[in-house]
Amino acid sequence: MTEYIRVPAKSPHFDADWEAHGHIERVVRAAERWVRAQPVRGLEVEIVRLAGRTPVLYFVVPASDGAGSGRTVLMYGHLDKQPEMTGWREGYGPWTPRYEDGKLYGRGGADDGYAVYASLSALGALQAQGLPHARCVGLIETCEESGSYDLPAYLEALAPRMGRVDFVIGLDSGAGDYERLWLTTSLRGIAAGTLSVEVLTEGVHSGDASGVVPSSFRIARRLLDRIEDGGSGRILPAAFHAPIPDERVAQARVASGILGETMVKRFPWSGRTRPMVDGNAEVVLNRTWRPALSITGADGLPPIANAGNVLRPATKLKLSLRIPPTLDGEQATAELKTLLEADPPHGATVRFEPDQGATGWNAPATAPWLPDAIDASSRTFYGQPSGALGEGGTIPFMGMLGKQFPEAQFLITGVLGPKSNAHGPNEFLHVPYAKRLTACVAQVIVAHAQRPGDARPAAPRPSSSGPIR
């Protein structure tokens, strides 16, 4: 993990020359070498490549004797990373791994470089202790942070080799705290792109032109008002909202009861800044089911030190609209484009260029064995009952898998707990938490193999002093 963090393997969206730079190739090959070295019986691993696409790491571990009845567990993760970001503390950096107080700092460790290592560690532990597991396949991609646009092609190519996938484990999500195993119940989608407003072909003296030439920034602000209420931040068009299922509302209340103010205190607030909503349950629902707009970048705005008295010719804003889990991402992106480009103020040249439209994910109905197994593993290794929580981010792969394997059960979880700060400065992997999570995954895999109807009789569930270590 330390060596992985050193490599600036930025996702293609942030490194257009990723292939020439070779960083993604480096981390994939390093992961492949590590996987090959693991003492896992029957393990096969390869780097799969489709022309013009980012590579994926694919591994297969056959079922232990008689386990799984022909079923397959799919284990998912990714190796590509978000860009550097500014704001790292002195002595820390995105490509400078630093281990301190149980936390491994650096870009990509928690999001999501640990996943391949955790997956094989779990399987190796089961085999070393003679515990059953079904056939397992691993799919580790390298374009998740760019919206997983290469994944559909790989799913189509690999689906015949994957077999009957009835259980998906995704290790790319969050944790409400570091005291228990958290099951992710939903993920928001995203409609993203660049809004461009052009009023002149070149900048002009602001004293000469202001009051006559409209400000490109003001026009952009008016366009954003079509999407968002500037006072409350509420998204206005009904097309970007969806009903919240009663089950998710109930889960939000339970989660907020467990976490209390943690859902607010997890963020590095400045001064007296307050949350957009009151009430812990409302905080949970706002970040998991309701739409929200962020401006994540801008062009055309010079640094203040170089800002003369010039009325700028154009403004570009990078928009990131998180949408409810059940909305179609491509349709929402098309709606966003229509709303922004229609009837531009003052006849300005307005364009919205989409770069990511991804549908979210809402977990299917859960089979009785899975929540029991999740809760038992959490009690074994954390000493606390498990928790269930939606996440505000987007993992497009989950929606793709939901369509590919409609009968599958999902364990979507991860290590991104309070202040772990994925995508931002000072990202860290909470190593003790990740170790326990890996053990939980192993125990749930055993429960999957022991489901009624398997050829192999069920063994006793491991206890806190049991065989899984």
Q: Give the DSSP letter string of 67-122.
A: -STT-EEEEEEE--B----S-PPTT-BTTB-EEETTEEESTTIIIIIHHHHHHHHH
With 0-12 CB in 10 A as exposed, 13-18 as middle and 19+ as buried, what is 336?
A: buried
Element (H, E) at 373: helix 369-381
pLDDT per position as a tens digit, 248-292: 999 999 999 999 998 899 888 999 999 999 999 999 999 999 999
The terminus-to-terminus CA distance of the chain in angstroms comes to 21
Confidence of residue 453 (pLDDT cuts 50, 70, 90): low
pLDDT (0 to 100) of residue 124: 97
Lowest mean pLDDT among 58-72, 103-117, 413-427: 58-72
Q: Is pLDDT at 457 greater than 90 in this prediction?
A: no
Cβ 153 vs Cβ 141: under 8 Å = no
Calculate mean pLDDT across residues 204-217: 97
Q: How far apart are CA 389 and CA 185, in angstroms?
A: 6
SS3 163: coil
Element (H, E) at 318: strand 314-323
Instruction: For strands 292-299 and 314-323, give the pairing.
Output: antiparallel
Q: Which has more pLDDT, 275 or 464?
A: 275
Q: How far apart are CA 436 and CA 378, in angstroms?
A: 9
Cβ 404 vs Cβ 159: under 8 Å = yes
User: The whole model's pTM is what?
Assistant: 0.86
User: Distance between alpha carbon 95 and the CA centroid of its chain, in Å?
Assistant: 20
Confidence of residue 459 (pLDDT cuts 50, 70, 90): very low
Q: How far apart are CA 251 and CA 256, in angstroms?
A: 8
Q: Is pLDDT at 305 greater than 60 in this prediction?
A: yes
Q: What are phi and psi of 175, to 5 degrees?
A: -140, 135
Mean pLDDT of the chain: 93
- What kind of architecture, by CATH, is found in domain 189-241+290-358? 2-Layer Sandwich (3.30)
pLDDT (0 to 100) of residue 381: 98
Calculate mean pLDDT across residues 227-255: 96
Residue 96 forms beta bridges with which residues?
A: 93
Residue type, 17: D
Calculate mean pLDDT across residues 458-462: 38
Q: What is the CATH number of domain 2-187+360-449?
A: 3.40.630.10
Calculate mean pLDDT across residues 433-443: 98
Domain residue ranges in the chain = 2-187+360-449, 189-241+290-358
Q: Name the residue among 127, 86, 387, 400 with its Cα closest to residue 251.
A: 387
pLDDT per position as a tens digit, 352-395: 999 889 899 999 999 999 999 999 999 999 999 999 999 998 88
Q: Is pLDDT at 170 greater than 60 in this prediction?
A: yes
Calculate mean pLDDT across residues 182-190: 95
Q: Give the DSSP letter string of 402-454.
A: HHH-TT-EEEEE-SB-TT--TTSTT-EEEHHHHHHHHHHHHHHHHHHHTSTT-
Cβ 186 vs Cβ 391: under 8 Å = yes
Cβ 132 vs Cβ 459: under 8 Å = yes
The first and second tokens of residue 448, run together, are 């999957």
pLDDT per position as a tens digit, 34-79: 999 999 999 999 999 999 999 999 999 999 987 878 899 999 999 9
Q: Please, what is the Cα angle at 158 between 165 and 435, to 5 degrees? A: 60
Q: Is pLDDT at 236 greater than 60 in this prediction?
A: yes
Lowest mean pLDDT among 358-372, 389-403, 433-447: 389-403
pLDDT (0 to 100) of residue 70: 84
Q: Considering the chain, what percentage of its residues have pLDDT values greater than 70?
A: 96
pLDDT (0 to 100) of residue 263: 87
pLDDT (0 to 100) of residue 461: 38
The first and second tokens of residue 185, run together, are 């119940």
Q: Is pLDDT at 227 greater than 80 in this prediction?
A: yes
C-alpha distances (whole Å) from 10 to each of 1, 58, 78, 118 are: 16, 20, 12, 21
Q: Is pLDDT at 140 greater than 80 in this prediction?
A: yes
In terms of phi and psi (left: phi > 0; alpha: psi -120 to 50; beta: otherwise), the region of 200 is beta
The first and second tokens of residue 237, run together, are 């068009």
